[in-house]
Amino acid sequence: MAPALAAANQWAHLGERLHPYDCELLMTYRSGRHFLQLPGPTNTPFRLLQAMARPVIDHRGPEFARMTKGILAELQWLFRTQNPVFVYPSSATGAWEAALANTLAPGDRVLSFDHGFFAQKWCHVAGRLGLDVRRLPGDWRTPPSPSTVEDLLREDTERRIRAVLFVHSETSTAVKTDIAAMRKALDRADHPALLLVDAVSSLACMEFLHDEWGVDVTVCGSQKGMMLPAGLGFTAVSSRALEASKTASIPSAYWQWDEMLRFNERGFFPYTPATGLLYGLEEALAMLKEEGLGRVIARHDRHAEATRRAVEAWGLEIVPCDAAHACSSVTAVLTPDGHDADRFRAVVLDRFDMSLGKGLGELEGRVFRIGHLGDFNDLMLAGTLAGVEMGLSAAGVPHRTGGAQAAFEYLAREDPTNPGGHP
Ligand code: PLP
């Protein structure tokens, strides 16, 4: 008899003896809340869960049209744009495809930098769509440099490069690319290439200014700063991108902006929308507005800083070589040589019921990632860092103690409601 069944049957005098199946269920219940500290999907707050539980309404009726028009207006606020934002029932990978298919033609040259797993994956999508992808070797610990980009664009005297792809917050490395500086590099080189940016793990976490930074297409997904489950993909566009869509010829139907525009104007979609997720999105936008985007960003910055202090005090290294290039939504931590990050994550899951992000691509087994984005507060971060520190001890990963304490002290001292601090 399995040990748990034997243990449970000690209490058989209280009622019927347990069936092995019930016992299996007993063994899987873990008291308390699971800590989902992935860099997305993030914790979905109760308000969003409640909103998404509402009954589906007619997606061709007036109530739906009112909701859609409101959501599309609020998305412009979130992306910081006066131009349309398109919402697809898709993951962010779909939105990558939409950005390319609406602006380019097969054989068009696109420039990209190998600075992380998601930058690679976007290139892969571009290659499959028949684009001529020039992927320049990059360093996964530093962002691409604007001056290199400028030089490459100047060298392209025939103006064959039609688009440049960047990942603002490279979730696999937690390295941030300066998009405003990239815009300036394109302008200095006087190059007409479109600037396509992945803001999947930066939007609603880190400052992102679609119009001000002159981004032509911003790609996003619902499962990070927007606090929803995966299932909605977004493209925010510029007038140049909309113009390009008139001649773009990558074969596609589902992603076409012209159809979306026609339907969105009346508050509808060209196909059956994911109404439950749209309810959640409406509520998420309301929550972000209530908190204030500036405060949302400051909160993420503060939690990222506290996390980096913990990592430093543990004597471990973050992936970005320079903390000035670190993302505020996620922190990627290198484990010491000979210590498998995936084994460490397994110990943390088993002992403390917390999921940390795994190392991706060439960082597999060498990195664990602490997600601190979305619906998050000081005590959730305190629990997360306490779990990491206990996990380091439990897994026998060499470190100094006191990292969580360093973060607690920073959080206690840096009062977001009183930025000047106490006397
Ligand atoms: N881009 C970035 C930066 C991501 O972090 C992710 C997923 O984590 C993606 C793109 C792909 O998104 P999805 O898995 O929703 O297709």
- Dump pLDDT digits (tens) for 239-286: 999 999 999 999 999 999 999 999 999 999 999 999 999 999 999 999
The answer as to whether 257 is a domain residue is: yes
Q: Are residues 117 and 184 in the same domain?
A: yes
Q: What is the pLDDT at residue 18?
A: 53
The answer as to whether 5 is a domain residue is: no
Answer with the one of 289, 317, 347 that is the final residue of a domain.
289
Average pLDDT estimate for 49-72? 98
Q: Are residues 285 and 401 in the same domain?
A: no
- Residues in contact with ligand 1 (CB, 6 Å cut-off): 40, 91-93, 118, 167, 171, 198, 200-201, 221, 230
Q: What is the pLDDT at residue 8?
A: 43
The answer as to whether 189 is a domain residue is: yes
How many distinct structural domains can be found in the chain? Answer: 2
Give tens-digit pLDDT for 350-366: 999 999 999 999 999 99
Q: What is the pLDDT at residue 146?
A: 98
Answer with the one of 256, 289, 322 that is the final residue of a domain.
289
The answer as to whether 41 is a domain residue is: no
Give tens-digit pLDDT for 84-109: 999 999 999 999 999 999 999 999 99
Average pLDDT estimate for 47-63? 98
Residue 26 has pLDDT above 60, yes or no: no
**What CATH number corresponds to the domain at position 365?**
3.90.1150.10
Predicted confidence band of residue 343 (pLDDT cuts 50, 70, 90):
very high
In this structure, of 22-36, 63-77, 372-386, the range with the lowest mean pLDDT score is 22-36
Q: Are residues 359 and 284 in the same domain?
A: no
Distances (CA, A) of 281 to 23, 171, 265, 403: 39, 22, 19, 36
Burial of 204 by CB count in 10 Å (0-12 exposed, 13-18 middle, 19+ buried)?
buried
Q: Are 333 and 310 in contact (CB under 8 A)?
A: no
Q: Determine the distance separating the centroid of ligand 1 and the alpha carbon of 68, expressed in angstroms.
A: 24
For the question of whether the overall pTM of this predicted structure is more than 0.85, the answer is yes
Residue 232 has pLDDT above 80, yes or no: yes
Give tens-digit pLDDT for 388-400: 999 999 999 999 9
Q: Determine the distance separating the centroid of ligand 1 and the alpha carbon of 96, expressed in angstroms.
A: 9
Q: Tokens standing for 117?
A: 């797993």
Domain limits at 387? Answer: 294-413
Average pLDDT estimate for 230-246? 98
Strands 330-334 and 367-371, by their bridges, are antiparallel
Q: Are residues 97 and 169 in the same domain?
A: yes
For a pocket test of ligand 1, which of 201, 219, 328 has the largest count of ligand atoms closer than 8 A to its C-beta? 201
Give the alpha-carbon dihedral of 273, 54, 42, 70, to 10 degrees: 60
Instruction: Compute the residue count for the chain.
Output: 423
The number of beta carbons lying within 10 Å of the beta carbon of residue 341 is 25
Answer with the one of 236, 270, 289 that is the final residue of a domain.
289
- Higher-pLDDT residue of 421 and 197 is 197
